[in-house]
Structure 1
Amino acid sequence: MSDWTPDSIPDLTGKTAIVTGANSGIGRPTALELARHGARVVVAARSPEKGEATVGEILRAVPGAQVEYGRLDLADLASIRRFAEGVDQVDLLVNNAGIGLIPRRETKDGFEMQFGTNHLGHFALTGLLLPLLLAAPAARVVNVSSDAHSVGRIDFDDLALERGYNRLGAYGRSKLANLLFTLELQQRAERAGVNLIGVATHPGTTATNFVKLGPLQPLLGLFFKSAEAGAVSSLYAATSPDVRGGEFIGPTLKRLTPSKRARSEADARRLWDVSTELTGVRFDEIAYS
């Protein structure tokens, strides 16, 4: 496993991959490598300008690649629904986009921004695409989390964080939610007997625009790994035949053990129910009977 590289990705011809946030950070090399290995790739991003620019970059690197842009704002449930309505096939869904360490803001639907974008947006997207995922021969959902999940706590009585807001705590909470979502998604898929697996990843600290250093931004690459290196765990999770549902794959492709909170089946079930209520998106095909 340690000698796995993106060159190990099998032929993905005939498969469609959606990568959220593929216009920047680790999402860009994730989309590029999936396209390089034959997948039809949808660059899902909020900015048409940046999204189309990424499509152009991929086409220059991989002439003849099947790659297209799809407008998606994960902080807007209406945008998520419009995007999902335009999808006709999906085999690999890489829930990669994320924001973090920002002042408290709210999504268009009134959710705390980090929780609303990083978790609720991807929860809604996955649920809306579920029928297409289940129509695929062997679908995968990859949720990009972080070791920062260990500092997160979910207070179900204060999901809006109105009683106190901390940038890192809010980010950690959203990454904890990614892991709890993966846990419950995998359990439901197994109980329903469907050919779908959910996997979570931790890419490690990468030199991307996610971390803001102002005029010192160019120095980021001296201390952190490249976006290409950070994408390896996502690419492995999305394509390796050795991956099993429910795993949490780290930056060296080692299987990580999530925090105790991230392994709480009760919290995973409760978060699922709350997320369904907040987004209005149901996963009827894998609902508990």
Structure 2
Amino acid sequence: MNITDINQLPTQKGKVAIITGANIGLGLETARFLIQKDITIVMACRSQQKAMHARNLLLKDVPDARIDVILIDLNSLQSVRDFVINFTDKYDRLDYLINNAGLMIPPLQRTEEGFESQLGVNYLSHFLLTGLLLPILEKTENSRVVALGSLAHRKGKIDFKNLNWEKDYHNFKAYCQSKLACVMFGFELDRRLKKSKSSVTSVIAHPGASLTNLGRYAPALINNIVMKIGTPFLNSAAMGAIPTIHAALGEDIEGGDYIGPASLLELRGYASKKVKATKYAQDEHLAKSLWETSERLVHFNYPI
């Protein structure tokens, strides 16, 4: 699917989407696409001020867009639970859940529950959010869950003995593990949804190599080099959002699809296609173990 195909998609008026981290980067550009298709957007963001600023930017493009802000802090599982209560008090349907927000290579930080921040924010909070929203997704015909993967999943390994990085913390390895977990979650969710004969579809997308705020924790020298030399070889945030839009709205999408840039090495471009995750990411036994571990960590058992 290319940008022309996206622009020609029919109106989705009446449908509702949640986008985590919708105030910046890929999330903001995803929201920009969706409001052009008359989708009601719920910006799930940590900062009211930043979310409202982004909302105002979007309304300049589409003045009659329906854009709501409901706060969520993915560093807190209680905040995730509060978000779901607030959302379901206001809405009776959810067509698209886009688990977009994320962290990349921060120094060692921990969430309120003590999880390594990338594991907690990128994966565990979205795992819980999806599970809590599953009943309303089930009530909405042909709804979709989009997990945000990364090329970095190819370098990831799930280390159950050091899943939470209690020793030997390495920020890039932790990032790769967290994005691998997101990809594995998308596949395992698809398997479980199909087994339960659900109408909900689980899909994974990755943005390729994109210029977003994810690089804010990289050393200044590296960021300067990227901005001066690497820009022509990287996606803009708008380009990076195309696989997510394809995953959410594409008419060719099936459960378990993995969508990435339609270019050599899946790095960039104004088109997306179905791509392949690693065999490791598709290991069903490993995914089952990760799922069961995740349920214990977040104190929530999925209904499927």
Which TM-score applies when normalising by structure 1?
0.94
Q: Is residue 206 from structure 1 mapped to residue 210 from structure 2 by the alignment?
A: yes
More moved, 251-260 vs 129-138: 251-260
More moved, 2-11 vs 92-101: 2-11
The separation in 2 between residues aligned to 1:234 and 1:10, in whole angstroms, is 17
The separation in 2 between residues aligned to 1:15 and 1:64, in whole angstroms, is 15
Aligned match for 2:250, one of 208, 232, 240? 240
| Aligned residue number for residue 68 of structure 1 | 68
The separation in 1 between residues aligned to 2:119 and 2:32, in whole angstroms, is 27
Q: Is residue 78 from structure 1 mapped to residue 78 from structure 2 by the alignment?
A: yes
Gaps of 5+ in 1: none
The separation in 2 between residues aligned to 1:223 and 1:264, in whole angstroms, is 32
Contact 1:180 1:263 in 2 (8 A): yes
Q: Which amino acid aligns with 1:241?
A: E
The separation in 1 between residues aligned to 2:8 and 2:243, in whole angstroms, is 13
More moved, 245-254 vs 78-87: 245-254
Percent identity for Structure 1 against Structure 2: 38
Contact 2:157 2:177 in 1 (8 A): yes
Q: Which amino acid aligns with 1:15?
A: K
Q: Post-superposition shift, 1:91?
A: 0.9
The separation in 2 between residues aligned to 1:237 and 1:130, in whole angstroms, is 18
| Aligned residue number for residue 97 of structure 2 | 93
Aligned match for 2:186, one of 182, 193, 204? 182
Which TM-score applies when normalising by structure 2?
0.90
Q: SS in structure 1 opposite 2:215?
A: coil
Aligned residues: 285
User: Relative to structure 1, is the Cα distance of residues 2 and 143 closer, same or farther in structure 2, using a 3 angstrom cutoff?
Assistant: same
Q: 1:153-195 deviations in whole A, cap 9, x for unaligned? A: 1111221112321111100000110111011100110011110
Q: CA RMSD in A?
A: 1.5
Contact 1:13 1:38 in 2 (8 A): yes
The separation in 1 between residues aligned to 2:246 and 2:282, in whole angstroms, is 22
Aligned match for 1:194, one of 198, 213, 227? 198
The separation in 2 between residues aligned to 1:113 and 1:232, in whole angstroms, is 27
The separation in 2 between residues aligned to 1:157 and 1:15, in whole angstroms, is 42
| Aligned residue number for residue 18 of structure 1 | 18
Contact 2:47 2:71 in 1 (8 A): yes
Q: SS in structure 2 opposite 1:211?
A: helix
Q: SS in structure 2 opposite 1:117?
A: helix
The separation in 2 between residues aligned to 1:3 and 1:227, in whole angstroms, is 13
Q: Is residue 264 from structure 1 mapped to residue 283 from structure 2 by the alignment?
A: yes
Q: Post-superposition shift, 1:282?
A: 2.2
Q: Which amino acid aligns with 2:107?
A: P
The separation in 2 between residues aligned to 1:4 and 1:172, in whole angstroms, is 32
Contact 1:94 1:143 in 2 (8 A): yes
Q: SS in structure 1 opposite 2:141?
A: coil
The separation in 1 between residues aligned to 2:177 and 2:82, in whole angstroms, is 27
